[in-house]
Amino acid sequence: MKKTNIIITFTITALILSCSPVVKTQQQPQEDKNKVSFKAREYYLKGLYLQAEERFSEALIQFHKAQIFDTESATIHNSLAENYLKLNEYEPSLYHLNRAEKLAPDNIETQRLLAEVYFRQRKDYQAIDAYKKILALDPYDESARNFLFFLYDKTKEPLKKAELYKDLLNLYGKDTSIFRQLIELYIKQKEWEKALVYLNESLKIDSTNAKNHYLKGSIFESLKEIDSAVVSFKKAVELEPDENYLNRLTIIYRSAREYQEIINLFSPILEKNPDNLQARFEVAEAHYFLKQLDQSKAILNPLLKKENISWNLYHLLGRIELEEKNYDEAINNFNKVVDLNKENRFGWLFLGFAYSDKGDLATAEETFSSAVTVLPKDASLWEWYGITLQRQKKFSEAIKPFKETLVLDPLNLNALSSLPVVLEELDLFVQSDSIYEVGISRLPDNALLLNNYAYSLSERDIRLEKALEMAQKAIEKEPDSPAYLDTIGWIYYKLNKYSEAEIFILRSLELRPKSAVVLDHMGDVYFKLGDINKARDYWKKSIEIQPDNQTVLDKIANN
């Protein structure tokens, strides 16, 4: 405490000098003025010593006495406010600060005290105003600036934070650390163009900063300027082959199916380090997508000699064998994936696909049945379990897998389109229609659902106007679909509009001339139009493709 008192004695003169402003009246004798000033200084000095001793209540008494002899001193008001603040008496503190501000608007100490009072009271916007005034008076006051940063975060005003950082640039010049703050702030606000401005400024200072090139690529990607993004990502990789930079560039190339670019990207890395597994897998997979299967296998085979082989190796080898229709080899690889990790969904899916493509639907069914036992929350496994049962005409058994799929994935198109078909096969038309209605409510513009529901209604000769409306919507979405053209043509047939039916069904046959069903429909249309010879010609073409269709055989025999 004694040391504090000594320090105060060195600064007291400056404080006392500001205690009493110049008196503007000339009527008062000079000696009276000096007498009043002396008394104010005397009490003010006592107050300062008591304040230094942390005897704030006693200090207040002395400052109030000083104010009796000098009512126009901003400094005395500030000292009164400061001591009230020490006692957590905010209202009297604010009273004196407001008086001080009127007397000396540019007194920075008044603004500091105002800011502290408002900050303690959590009056954020008033505190902000006070800190801004401090910076206006002293732009280098870092404490005020830091409080403003904090308050702008609290009040969620990031763009005002940006202005503070810009002020720092004006004060201290270009600085990469300040640029970094502005870049990150504008990225969070998705102000991409502004972020680019400061990224470019930062890169002018240090063009070798790989992270900044990566950030620049990310911004270009957000702006959908993919070519520019690629340039920046490539520069980042060139400076620092970081895994994140490589992955981002790889995703772009993969999305664009530019597989040769992936090979070009990772081949130099693989040449430098043959043990780099990521590079080896990326190059091998790119060759696979380019149908260069031998090259892909050649790159992967050295890994088979290593210990602790990753499931990715067997998975990719299995896909290669499946592509080459080497089903047994593919099955062997996918079984290894599952053996390494029973919960690997890709292993189960491709194992099921391999059996299915081989024509062994029974084993494919067993595979998917086992898979959903291990991974009961995987919608894709339930979906393909249902499809496999449907392909075997096990319609009753297929209902549960499709329903489970929709519980896990309500927008699953395969389930929404296949479940109604399964229910129709069981003559459960009310349930089938209900699923179609649900599907279209979830995916109102899906051409497949619209077409299938429309065709189902037309086959039952019910709600044909609604069926036509849905078929028209499906054709708008996919005007060159042979199946959809046949559907709308068949609905026109059911509505006795045979000329319209002829137009659409002929167009369907132009696109798919070998459809037995469509050829049969065309024969029916011409029969209704009275052209028996053309009708018989189309029925005969239908029988050539589907010889055992008794309904068509009867038409030929009876007409």
Structural domain contains residue 17: yes
**Alpha-carbon distances, residue 197 vs 183, 186, 212 (angstroms):** 8, 10, 12
pLDDT 10s digits, 110-121: 999 999 999 999
Distance from the Cα of residue 533 to its chain's centroid = 62
- Which pairs count as long-range contacts for 533-540, CB under 8 Å and 24+ apart, including other chains? 535/559
Q: How many domains is the chain partitioned into structurally?
A: 1
pLDDT 10s digits, 394-423: 999 999 999 999 999 999 999 999 999 999
Residues 6+ apart with CB under 8 A from 350: 315, 318, 319, 322, 330, 334, 337
Three-class secondary structure of residue 531 per DSSP: coil
Q: Which of 6-10, 61-65, 294-298, 554-558 has the lowest mean pLDDT?
A: 6-10
pLDDT 10s digits, 337-355: 999 999 999 999 999 999 9
Residues 6+ apart with CB under 8 A from 156: none
pLDDT at 28: 36
Structural domain contains residue 278: no
Structural domain contains residue 69: yes
Structural domain contains residue 11: yes
With bands split at pLDDT 50, 70 and 90, how would you rate the model's confidence at 305?
confident
Structural domain contains residue 164: no
Q: Determine the structural domain holding residue 78 and report its residue range.
A: 1-105
> Hey, what amino acid is at 15?
L
pLDDT at 70 over 70: yes
Structural domain contains residue 20: yes
pLDDT at 308: 82
Residue 170 contacts residue 162 (beta carbons within 8 Å): no
pLDDT at 535: 95
Cα–Cα distance measured from residue 166 to residue 160, given in angstroms and rounded to the nearest whole number = 10
**Alpha-carbon distances, residue 161 vs 61, 225, 369, 476 (angstroms):** 42, 28, 58, 51
pLDDT at 309: 85
With bands split at pLDDT 50, 70 and 90, how would you rate the model's confidence at 304?
confident
**Alpha-carbon distances, residue 260 vs 245, 287, 296, 408, 442 (angstroms):** 18, 8, 13, 37, 39
- Which pairs count as long-range contacts for 131-139, CB under 8 Å and 24+ apart, including other chains? 134/108, 135/167, 137/106, 137/108, 137/111, 138/108, 139/167, 139/171
Distance from the Cα of residue 20 to its chain's centroid = 63
Cα–Cα distance measured from residue 252 to residue 256, given in angstroms and rounded to the nearest whole number = 6
Structural domain contains residue 121: no
pLDDT 10s digits, 197-235: 999 999 999 999 999 999 999 999 999 999 999 999 999
Q: What is the pTM of this model?
A: 0.71
Question: Percent of the chain, pLDDT > 70?
Answer: 94
Structural domain contains residue 89: yes
Average pLDDT, the chain: 92
Residue 20 sits in a domain whose CATH number is 1.25.40.10
In this structure, the number of other CB atoms found within 10 A of the CB of residue 487 comes to 30
